[in-house]
Amino acid sequence: MERRGLDYVVLNQGYVSVNGRVIEHEATGNALLTELYRNHIADWPKFFKMDTLSKAGFVASELLLKETGERRLDGEEFTSGCAIVLFGATASLCADRNYQETIRDKDNYYPSPALFVYTLPNIVTGEIAIRNHWRGETSFYVLEAPDAVQMAFHLACAFQNKTTESILAGWVDSSRNDDFQAFMTVIRREDAADTDWLAGQLKQMINILNNK
Amino acid sequence: MARLIRCIADNVVSPLGLDSRSNYDSVKAGKSGLARYEFMGNITTPFVLSRMDRGVIDALCGKLGIKGNYTFFEKFLLCSSVQAVRESGIDASSERVLFIVSTTKGNTSLLGQPQDGVADERVLLGKAAHEVSRFFGNPNSPLVVCNACISGVCAQIEAMRALRSGRYDYAVVIGADEQSPFIISGFLSFKAISDEPCRPFDKERKGLNLGECAATVVLEASDEIKGGWELVCGAIRNDANHISGPSRTGEGSYLALMEVLKECRREELAFVNVHGTATAYNDEMESIALYRAGLIDVPVTGLKGYYGHTMGAAGIMESILSMYAVRDNTVLATGGYREQGVTYPVSVSSEVRVCNGSEFIKLLSGFGGSNAALLYRFVE
């Protein structure tokens, strides 16, 4: 019997799909993220404070968890079993550029903590952890380019921590406000046992992202 | 058979010394790299910083044969890693060696100040790390851990896992950050920086100081350890509470501590080397986490009063100095501390103390709600 593929979301400035089903939209660029938020999420106003990297990662995670039917923990319910491991090449470059603008001129110097905090790429993992009440491992790794084999290796490594039952994993990049690329998937312990299979699944997601 | 992870070489390059031993001796003698600056770039608010002399790094590059058009950040990484790799005796050009770089901002200063002969793309952390692995002729893509202030502990945890998987035999784990106006202005905007030398866990603490350091550990997968340091385990946990403030209950740090305590022999635990940034919130949070984890009586020590917060290097440098301290039966004094200033009175001291035990825990926390802990053990 053929093994069922992983659930996944692919998102960039002009394209969004869930398990290969294209989600119709009108806006492009940063406005696409807002449109997706309003049409599919709508109950998390913290979204509007986020930088582009976090918005892209957050929207991708929400669309994915809706698809997988993950039960949302609320109130005082928390879990350490769900980890978040994201990869990217640009890290927080978009936020870095935006923040740099605020300190460039002596006469127009206004460094803002609200912008500065997003100059760390792992903030997106924190945003997703807060939303989902996940107290598990959160990590952000930077690679030169998306590499399915390398990502599968490090994701399989993350399961060496026995508390980790599943990983929200993916790729998130943004170098400009209107320019972002992301894919996201949920990996369970048994999915990572076969690292070659996992790499194959990630490779498909990378291909879709690269071709859109 | 489970592979054991052994630390076979280490190096610290900082204003206090160019190798681990001289750094340890300086700290034990109470020396600090912290100095007050009245301005930098467009910053006109005074701040305290431990800054690496660029001339010292250039001279060290000359001595170590590091030539080429590198940024300060890349030179810093190389100065530390070249020394550690030489001490280890490993062939770093082997495909069985993985390079892991721990940093928060890498070459970000290039955004404000481009450098002749350095491509703009080197602002990308993966590109900067590749300059380092390329120097050693290593064929693998380096991994960059960018997990805010906990990166140095996370990088060692990831190295441990990569070695346990069997795919690699050695990992070179390097951490560094350059304190440019980018980072300093950001922490100033958070009102997190003190204009005096920082005072971790003290009643009068006013905030953190930033600092520059590069540190390296070379880890090896082995079947047996005799007379060496074992990286036993580590854990990373999120507060799931706030992106720029620690949890009021120290949740993530508590969970990370509880995870590593599973492997700890409590009678062998010499001390916990804490994050101890000297911000009001961080130190209070750590005291709560330590109390909840049942560690209120275990000696606690912090190094920010000598180095400031060295970001990407912190988890690595502070682990290395802790190894030297355990071997010296010493709990280093917490520089800047005078009077207990946290709700749960953890065992912190302004004096050097004697200790027994062969294990220590390194604890860190950072933006994004991130927390991490790891456990090292000296095996006779």
pLDDT in tens, B205-242: 999 999 999 999 999 999 999 999 999 999 999 999 99
For residue B126, what is the nearest residue in chain A, using CA coordinates? Answer: A144
Write the DSSP string, A6-71. Answer: PPEEEEETTEEEETTEEPP-S--THHHHHHHHHHHT-S-GGGGGS-HHHHHHHHHHHHHHHHHTPP
Please tell me which of the candidates B161, B181, B252 has its beta carbon nearest to residue A135. Answer: B252
Q: CA torsion sign, A163 to A165 to A168 to A171?
A: positive
Domain formed by B4-222, architecture: 3-Layer(aba) Sandwich (3.40)
Measured between alpha carbons, how far is A56 from B39 in angstroms, rounded to an integer? Answer: 37
Question: Which residues 263-322 in chain B show a CB within 8 A of chain A?
Answer: none
Percent of chain B with pLDDT over 70: 100
Nearest alpha-carbon partner for B235 in A156, A84, A164: A164
Determine the average pLDDT of the residues in B300-320.
98
Task: State which CATH number among 3.40.50.12160, 3.40.47.10, 3.40.50.880, 3.90.76.10 fits the domain covering B228-379.
Answer: 3.40.47.10
Distances in Å between the alpha carbon of A162 and those of A81, A165, B26? 9, 8, 40
Strand partners, B238: B370
For residue B252, what is the nearest residue in chain A, using CA coordinates? Answer: A135
Please tell me which of the candidates B186, B240, B244 has its beta carbon nearest to residue A133. Answer: B240
For residue B140, what is the nearest residue in chain A, using CA coordinates? Answer: A150
Chain A residues inside the 8 Å CB shell of B42:
103-106, 109
Please tell me which of the candidates A90, A97, A135 has its beta carbon nearest to residue B238. Answer: A135
Q: Which two tokens mark B12? A: 């610290």
Measured between alpha carbons, how far is B171 from B156 in angstroms, rounded to an integer? Answer: 9
Please, is B236 exposed, middle or buried when counting C-beta atoms within 10 Å of its C-beta (0-12, 13-18, 19+)? buried
Query: What does the pLDDT read at residue A70?
Result: 85
pTM of the model: 0.98
Residue with tokens 């957050």: A58
Distances in Å between the alpha carbon of A138 and those of A85, A123, A171, B64, B155? 6, 10, 14, 37, 13
Measured between alpha carbons, how far is A116 from B312 in angstroms, rounded to an integer? Answer: 17
Q: Are residues B112 and A163, on separate chains, in Cβ contact within 8 Å? A: no
Measured between alpha carbons, how far is B260 from B231 in angstroms, rounded to an integer? Answer: 11
Determine the average pLDDT of the residues in B15-36.
98
Q: Are residues B165 and A153, on separate chains, in Cβ contact within 8 Å? A: yes
Query: What does the pLDDT read at residue A167?
Result: 98
Please tell me which of the candidates B130, B147, B181 has its beta carbon nearest to residue A103. Answer: B181
Q: Is the pLDDT of residue B2 over 90?
A: no
Query: What does the pLDDT read at residue A74?
Result: 83
Tell me, yes or no, if the two domains B4-222 and B228-379 fold the same way. yes
User: What order do you get walking across the sheet with B34-37 strand by strand?
Assistant: B34-37, B47-50, B210-211
SS3 B314: helix
Q: Are residues B236 and A97, on separate chains, in Cβ contact within 8 Å? A: no
Domain boundaries, chain B: 4-222, 228-379
Does the CB of B113 have a partner CB in chain A at under 8 Å?
no
Q: How far is B236 from chain A (nearest CA, A)?
A: 5
Q: Are residues A116 and B186, on separate chains, in Cβ contact within 8 Å? A: yes
Measured between alpha carbons, how far is B190 from A111 in angstroms, rounded to an integer? Answer: 9
Mean pLDDT of chain B: 97
Q: Is the pLDDT of residue B1 over 60?
A: no
* ipTM given for this complex: 0.97
Q: How far is B240 from chain A (nearest CA, A)?
A: 4
The pLDDT profile of chain A, 212 residues, written as one tens digit per residue, is 578 999 999 999 999 999 999 999 999 999 999 999 999 999 999 999 999 999 999 999 999 999 999 889 988 999 999 999 999 999 999 999 999 999 999 999 999 999 999 999 999 999 999 999 999 999 999 999 999 999 999 999 999 999 999 999 999 999 999 999 999 999 999 999 999 999 999 999 999 999 98
Does the CB of B112 have a partner CB in chain A at under 8 Å?
yes
**Domains in chain A, CATH or no CATH each:** 8-211 (3.40.47.10)
Instruction: Tell me which H or E stretch contains A107.
Output: none
Q: How far is B243 from chain A (nearest CA, A)?
A: 6
Please tell me which of the candidates A130, A140, A158 has its beta carbon nearest to residue B146. Answer: A140
Write the DSSP string, B60-106. Answer: HHHHHT--SS--HHHHHHHHHHHHHHHHHT--TTSTTEEEEEE-SST
φ, ψ for residue B255 (rounded to 5)?
Answer: -65, -40
Q: Is the pLDDT of residue B192 over 70?
A: yes
Q: How far is A199 from chain B (nearest CA, A)?
A: 15
Question: Which residues 358-377 in chain B show a CB within 8 A of chain A?
Answer: 366-370
Please count the other Cβ atoms lying within 10 Å of the Cβ belonging to residue B225.
17
Please tell me which of the candidates A80, A144, A160 has its beta carbon nearest to residue B127. Answer: A144
pLDDT in tens, B340-380: 999 999 999 999 999 999 999 999 999 999 999 999 999 99
Chain A residues inside the 8 Å CB shell of B185:
103, 111, 116
Q: Are residues B369 and A109, on separate chains, in Cβ contact within 8 Å? A: no
